[in-house]
Structure 1
């Protein structure tokens, strides 16, 4: 029986809980405990601003073993749409089986503008440790048939939370339980009729990609006067990708939304 690889992640102050307006929320993926020796990690920030302490690009990342070995986490890819940012991190060498690692983040800059923040403020923003375990080297090669069969008709769905109201575009596709259970992310690219392209990484949920914009932020603003197309590429947990799908037309959700509500959400 092979030994288990354990990664303990300690989160620094820029990681915070909740989805309130005006609060920067950072998420770490994967969410499950099973990782590979060359696992990709993704940090996703939903309310990033250029001057924010919470910017995921303001930190260096590494894994450190109990024996003192330091493995840098290098930026494999990054995306940004509006105020939604992602970075994908990959170890610069394979992780060792049976070794315990700690996740470290170090602020890149010595900036006095944060000097007046009390230690208690940082402690409240700290996440507890998170464990990742692998007991074998998984085969994360991408299945050649992991394309999505998109539906042509897609609408806007109103979603409400205590702090925000928004309309999310549900980019639907024909359900495939094998596909949905496969350990992949999808690199989703959206192109508008002006030729502008927007790219992000998503995980399908119940036969949909949720793409949209709320009062408090989101991952994509749609112009009601433009048409859009979408394509996707399946990516395994170690960064391997398959061939991209064909471009498919999607319905612009904001054309179906009441103009007054639309103006509140996206200003048009």
Structure 2
């Protein structure tokens, strides 16, 4: 009974490619096809014995045997020299090395690109952070400047009125000092030194010293009574405020008095009308 073609091809591929003397098993030689990078291993699995294969194939016709032998001749390899096999193996290994180098180079290039992108992102983030820090510092400086300006205005504004008053007092003080100096100079110049008149230098010195002492005492007394004057000024301002409040209260009281008077008049008129209406109603009954 003839076998199907698939069985014949399978049996043909299971035949050993090389046979050793005295043994039924064969080993595969390392050919170019076996050493190619796509192959997983260089050694094929053990094939069944040649006698079994003869028994499997024996049932076929002579034409089938001729076809199988042709396929075997086509796939059968010629055994090459060991130098060529080693050279081919070295070439295959070199090709694999080149492939791995190419893969590593491509991976390195990709990693370099990723690194460059990450560095650019980090640089942009750093720039934004520095810009934010600079803007925050500028805002803080502006806030501090505004705080200092507010403190300066709070410190100077209460003193402006005093400075304006001091300008008026300074003119009066300078006028008084100038008047005193003019009088002293006039008195010292108009001394009667005619007709062999002589002035006592010691007495003049003592008088001038006493005048200077009096002027210094005036300053001391002024500085001594300055807090009291300020207290009196404060009390006067409070008194003025209280007087204004008193006037406002009096005005409000007058307003309410007028309202109460109008209400009283309306109450009287309503009472009179009610009394008249009741009296007329009682008279009619």
Q: Which has the larger radius of gyration?
A: 2
Q: Taking structure 1 as the reference length, what is the TM-score of the superposition? A: 0.19
Q: Which has the larger strand fraction?
A: 1
Q: Which has the larger helix fraction?
A: 2
User: Higher RCO, 1 or 2 (CA under 8 Å, sep at least 6)?
Assistant: 1
Q: Taking structure 2 as the reference length, what is the TM-score of the superposition? A: 0.18
